[in-house]
Structure 1
Amino acid sequence: MSIIRQDDFIDSIADALQYISYYHPRDFIQAMHAAYEKEQSPAAKDAIAQILINSRLCAEGKRPVCQDTGIVTVFLKIGMDVRWDAKLSVVDMINEGVRRAYTHPDNVLRASILADPAGKRVNTGDNTPAVVHMEVVPGNTVEVEVAAKGGGSEAKSKFAMLNPSDSIVDWVLKTVPTMGAGWCPPGILGIGIGGTAEKAMLLAKQACMESIDIQELHARGPDNALEELRLELFDKVNALGIGAQGLGGLTTVLDVKIKDYPTHAANKPVAMIPNCAATRHAHFVLDGSGPAQLQPPKLEDWPIISRDAGETARRVNLDSLTKEDILDWKPGETLLLSGTLLTGRDAAHKRLVDLFERSETPPANIDFTNKFIYYVGPVDPVRDEVVGPAGPTTATRMDKFTEAMLEHTGLLGMIGKAERGPQAIEAIRKHQAVSLIAVGGAAYLVSKAIRHARVIAFEDLGMEAIHEFVVEDMPVTVAVDSRGDSIHVSAPRLWQAKIGKIPVVTE
């Protein structure tokens, strides 16, 4: 019999969440570096370079790889011979570990969890509660899998109840392009097959937490049908040409992981959950001897990569920019932004648009005239930081607000990640604005370009408040130009045709 002490369990959860906030798994770094080495698309290669540089900076500085530090998911296998020396329930112990991790003064993590999700959506302040799944198994240990799942990738989760005769490959190839780039490829696709609807989703989530080994599988060859399916999907999904950040390229997924479970004869449940470029998970076992000890990786595990966009990039002074200046910007062009920009996410946009609809004016200190709005909810700063990690959130979520913002504010454009939908693109074309992207998964690197930051409005919204940033050489890419041409539409088609394994859909 093993005795698991309350403090050991809480400390292990807290330490693991801190650990995965700034250390990528070694297999992920190796796979991402391999993708960087073979990538032929300049835009995608630069995006991967930023992700790798950001990852090393975070390992050195022990700061989050992404501003979205996730919703905590924990899978437990509790041995039948385990005894707990604890006053709190297992779930309460996990939540106390989350609370300590996310409020750690040396590495504050962003609180993103909202209570009353269908109503007032009030931030809980400490990222609790976690989502916990428990299983009682033979043995005298507690096996723990803990992940911090980003909202952008979680939002792209898909499920289908296929007919038994339907092709899983066809469904995946039809579905992945509909996910866009909001899940920050390249990453991992977790697929769950079988069981019931909820079981398939759990299998897909657990698959996301497995190690990357597709190259080893390719080298030795498949031993069963699931491994054959992994190889087929890996090859065909990458042949879609979506590429890093949706910019077109050779690598969209680093691996495809599949878990299955017996199912009813009338059903074929299939779930797909992507894990993003900020993949965060840890695995440990408690046996009663004390808290888990996660060994820090060696910095030699990270490749040394340098990038200099200065020679080919257009330098932009945000403080003197006019509408005429942006008219010749082209999709795929790299810009280095310097000057003042404002921030805003979903909650701030809704509040502003509600004011417009009531014919009311925003607070006097919010002036978007000839400015850009950056879709970001930054991490709180620590020590001498101006701001914590401050990477982009998914621009697509702001599509329904874009027409009103461009109509009422004098904005020149927006900065986020991922593609814009038809509604936003039409508004951008109509108002001759532009949409830019920063690299998702490079939040700490982006924060290095921010020289000054202050909250100027809606402070009650927490990380969703409107900030004023002063930036210097902040790297971005033109995603949608003033004519409404989108790189997220044109580039994947181009690279799908170059790869040449899947017919290009033109309608």
Structure 2
Amino acid sequence: MTTVIRQDDLIESVADALQFISYYHPTDFIKAVHEAYEREESQGAKDAMAQILINSRMSAQGHRPICQDTGIVTVFVTVGMDVRWDATMSLDDMINEGVRRAYTNADNVLRASVLADPDGARRNTKDNTPAVIHHKLVPGNTVDVHVAAKGGGSEAKSKFAMLNPSDSVVDWVLEMVPKMGAGWCPPGMLGIGIGGTAEKAMELAKESLLDPIDIHELQARGASNRAEELRLELFEKVNQLGIGAQGLGGLTTVLDVKVKDYPTHAANKPVAIIPNCAATRHAHFVLDGTGPSLQTPPSLDDWPDITWEVGENVRRVNLDTVTREDIKAWQPGETVLLSGKMLTGRDAAHKKMVDMLAKGEKLPVDLTDRFIYYVGPVDPVREEVVGPAGPTTATRMDKFTRTMLAETGLMGMIGKAERGQVAIDAIRDFGAVYLMAVGGAAYLVSKAIKAAKVVAFEELGMEAIYEFEVEDMPVTVAVDTKGVSVHQTGPQIWHDKIIAAQRA
């Protein structure tokens, strides 16, 4: 029987799904993080997961983004061959119109992160279009749609290899995961695609992340095929690495591992890894001709009532008066609460500043003895001074770090995840410090920001340089003035603990 699907029904359903996933985590993810939080023994990792859970509940209540990076939209759409469209737009144009409406919704503005001309002008498209769309035509009379919003930090950690047929997938994954660092904001899921061709393996890995978290059910019933055997083995062995939440060291690095495979050429074994971050965002709907398919809000009772208490030994810092002598006493892994004024700046602002310094030009802001926060916030709505403003991946700024420290007098940096060795060496050489804010807690972080104004490079949009005034913004000392990195020491300590406990 033929089904007629109206153009506006698809547009409205896509827009609704994207708004929905911007502030509601899937409840299976919340349950899995809470279970990991309950059994975690690493205090740093436990604190990070507490902030993720609190942020998630706040976002659900406030209908504001879980993460400042509201993602590039990926859509898997399966169209029944008995569907007839009442539409003047193409399928892709309908989906992109839904994306446009979602990201420009005045009640919950979502950050536009998509740039056209990616190796040229890199111009922001202003509405986060176009989406990345995968199509499938099948027997039937419905339109089945999976919508996901994928953050750039986790997407940047994707890995691909064309293995030899006799090579071990497990060995390759265990080699790659530590190299991914913490920029993908663990704990999350790993999607693994095996087989087909290079592009098919990547598509399988991405699609696998749409599946629910069910590793404990699989553990209970046992594997029935090779893909499930890999899931079980990798779930155990990846967690044994001790990377932990936010890379601080701990018992839980992955909440689940998903594996999809496809027949491949006899000479090949293509394998892809795509991680999902702590801002796991996806939704599913089906159009059957009866109108738009809108998401059903979950109950707030699905969220655990978590509180995060700052310990008595926390270090409170006034950014307006802190000195280089003061920061020498800060210890790796220590919790610091920041108050006062900080500047912001990420990729585009750093490149612009470094280019200006190379030309001998004066910078529009004085960075002497200041702290800079790597962030691209969401635009504010209503009474907000700034929208969700969590950290971006700090390693992208590594290549600028030595120049910035040497030529501007910058004292400290705040970002997400680890620093590479080139940045660590520069931090040590100039007696600076790097602090880590929790990725996946953007709405929570924004509540510490009491004032915000653009002070330079306004034309860069969300990548402009702001001055934030903060009160008790929680961060962790990730690299101290001596160049000791908690992202190197923490996982090693917890890997050794996990292995020792298993041998006991």
TM-score class normalised by the smaller sequence = over 0.9
Query: What is the aligned residue count?
Result: 501
Structure 1 stretches of 4+ moved >2 Å:
none
The Cα shift of 1:502 comes to 11
Matched, 1:263 2:264: yes
Matches within 5 A, 1:69-468: 69-363=70-364, 366-468=365-467
* Deviations 1:383-424, CA, capped at 9 Å, x for gaps: 100100000000000000001111111111100001101110
* Deviations 1:16-42, CA, capped at 9 Å, x for gaps: 000000000010000000000000000
Deviates more, 1:406-415 or 1:445-454: 406-415
The residue identity in structure 2 corresponding to 1:105 is A
Cα distance in structure 2, aligned partners of 1:292 and 1:200:
30
The Cα shift of 1:370 comes to 1.3
8 Å Cα contact 1:240-1:502 kept in structure 2: no
Cα distance in structure 2, aligned partners of 1:220 and 1:134:
33
Superposition TM-score, scaled by structure 1 size: 0.98
Q: What's the secondary structure of 2:490's corresponding residue?
A: helix
Q: What's the secondary structure of 1:10's corresponding residue?
A: helix
| Structure 1 gap segments, 5+ residues each | none
Cα distance in structure 2, aligned partners of 1:313 and 1:74:
44
The Cα shift of 1:440 comes to 0.1
* Deviations 1:282-302, CA, capped at 9 Å, x for gaps: 011111111012110000000
The Cα shift of 1:223 comes to 1.8
8 Å Cα contact 1:378-1:390 kept in structure 2: yes
Cα distance in structure 2, aligned partners of 1:240 and 1:115:
38
The Cα shift of 1:344 comes to 0.1
Cα distance in structure 1, aligned partners of 2:473 and 2:310:
11
8 Å Cα contact 1:341-1:374 kept in structure 2: yes
Deviates more, 1:409-418 or 1:436-445: 409-418
Cα distance in structure 2, aligned partners of 1:492 and 1:237:
12
Cα distance in structure 1, aligned partners of 2:270 and 2:355:
41
8 Å Cα contact 1:189-1:208 kept in structure 2: yes
Cα distance in structure 2, aligned partners of 1:478 and 1:233:
31
The Cα shift of 1:216 comes to 1.0
* Deviations 1:462-495, CA, capped at 9 Å, x for gaps: 0000000000000000000000000000100000
8 Å Cα contact 1:143-1:284 kept in structure 2: yes
The residue identity in structure 1 corresponding to 2:441 is A
Deviates more, 1:304-313 or 1:126-135: 304-313
Partner of 2:476: 477
The residue identity in structure 1 corresponding to 2:413 is M
The Cα shift of 1:328 comes to 1.0
Cα distance in structure 2, aligned partners of 1:133 and 1:228:
28
Q: What's the secondary structure of 1:110's corresponding residue?
A: coil
Cα distance in structure 1, aligned partners of 2:433 and 2:79:
53
Partner of 1:67: 68
Q: What's the secondary structure of 1:470's corresponding residue?
A: strand
Q: What's the secondary structure of 1:27's corresponding residue?
A: helix
* Deviations 1:437-476, CA, capped at 9 Å, x for gaps: 0000000000000000000100000000000000000000
The residue identity in structure 2 corresponding to 1:347 is A
Partner of 1:27: 28
The Cα shift of 1:312 comes to 2.5
Cα distance in structure 2, aligned partners of 1:2 and 1:276:
37
The residue identity in structure 1 corresponding to 2:414 is I
Cα distance in structure 1, aligned partners of 2:306 and 2:410:
35
Superposition TM-score, scaled by structure 2 size: 0.99
Partner of 1:487: 486
Cα distance in structure 2, aligned partners of 1:219 and 1:54:
31
Cα distance in structure 1, aligned partners of 2:203 and 2:228:
19
Cα distance in structure 2, aligned partners of 1:361 and 1:454:
21
* Deviations 1:55-75, CA, capped at 9 Å, x for gaps: 000000000000000000000
Cα distance in structure 1, aligned partners of 2:408 and 2:95:
45
The Cα shift of 1:310 comes to 4.6
The residue identity in structure 2 corresponding to 1:111 is A
8 Å Cα contact 1:236-1:502 kept in structure 2: no
The residue identity in structure 1 corresponding to 2:77 is L
Q: What's the secondary structure of 1:126's corresponding residue?
A: coil
* Deviations 1:105-157, CA, capped at 9 Å, x for gaps: 00000000000000010101010010011010000000001000000000000
| Structure 2 gap segments, 5+ residues each | none
Q: CA RMSD in A?
A: 1.0
Partner of 2:13: 12
C-alpha spacing 1:312/1:40, structure 2 compared with 1 (3 Å)? same
The residue identity in structure 2 corresponding to 1:198 is E
